[in-house]
Structure 1
Amino acid sequence: MTDQQEKVIIVEGLSDKKQVKKIIAEDAEVVCTNGTLGVEKFDELLNQYDLDHRDVYILADEDSPGIRLRSQLARELPHARHIHVSSEYREVAATPENMLAIELAGKQIAVNPIFLI
């Protein structure tokens, strides 16, 4: 894997992607699902990002749509690691940067140290 990043972080929406990209300090690929996935859309993601052969992290909101997405992805990608945000914040984009950084770092994803203060 010389021309693509090892890690893929799957999030729901663009605001989640922006929040994660701002915090991480490594060249991981952040992929938006834009909500629930149909079979065809999932197969596109699987092939486009070679998800069966990469380190995959699932970071979904702690609300009904996010939990459904996480469940679906867990079935399709059993090797994926799960990153959870507190149910207090419910959404990835609404989670304070320092709290999100702690969760990401806990999964061995490099984060910008300024977010760990």
Structure 2
Amino acid sequence: MIMDETAHKVIIVEGKSDKDKLVSILDEPVEIICTNGTLGSHKLEELAAAIEHRDVYILVDADDAGAKLRKQLMRELPNAEHLYVHRMYREVAKTPLIYLAKVLLGAHFNINKNCLG
């Protein structure tokens, strides 16, 4: 599950389309981990142990499935910073680039300047 241990920051998202959207916005090495929905307790413990000494951010959809995953991740990763998309967009993948760029900028990520309009 962990692919790039050289990246100091980790963002946990739900799916590949979320990851692809973030990759187009970020201008620094960040490991983006897709959960593909909820995680089993063993996989979640494994993930938590692998990333516990890194800066972890959680960015999931503003829907019931996202809320369930966020709650699950909160228990295993209590020091993670939570990033949110507005409820009107519901999904990270459907959130406008400029809005996501501003969310990431607010969390001190380096952003591709082309995404800021």
**TM-score bracket, shorter-length normalisation:** over 0.9
CA distance in 2, matches of 1:56, 1:7: 6
| Residue among 22, 31, 37 paired with 2:39 | 37
- Relative to the length of structure 1, the TM-score reads 0.92
- Match for 1:107: what amino acid? A
- Match for 1:32: what amino acid? C
- Relative to the length of structure 2, the TM-score reads 0.92
CA distance in 2, matches of 1:21, 1:93: 12
Q: Deviations over 1:65-115 (max 9, x none)?
A: 001101111111111001100101000000000000000110001110111
Q: What residue number does 1:71 align with?
A: 71
Query: How far is 1:43 from its partner?
Result: 2.4
Extract unaligned runs of 5+ from structure 2.
none
Stretches of 4+ aligned residues off by more than 3 angstroms: none
CA distance in 2, matches of 1:77, 1:42: 9
CA distance in 2, matches of 1:109, 1:92: 17
Extract unaligned runs of 5+ from structure 1.
none
Contact 2:48–2:76 at 8 Å: present in 1 too? no
CA distance in 1, matches of 2:10, 2:32: 6
CA distance in 1, matches of 2:75, 2:41: 12
CA distance in 1, matches of 2:26, 2:40: 29
CA distance in 2, matches of 1:92, 1:39: 24
Structure 1 vs Structure 2: percent identity of aligned residues? 50
| Aligned-CA RMSD value | 1.0
**Residue 62 (structure 2) pairs with residue 94 (structure 1):** no
**Residue 22 (structure 2) pairs with residue 20 (structure 1):** yes
CA distance in 2, matches of 1:20, 1:44: 24
Q: What residue number does 1:104 align with?
A: 104
Q: What residue number does 1:59 align with?
A: 59
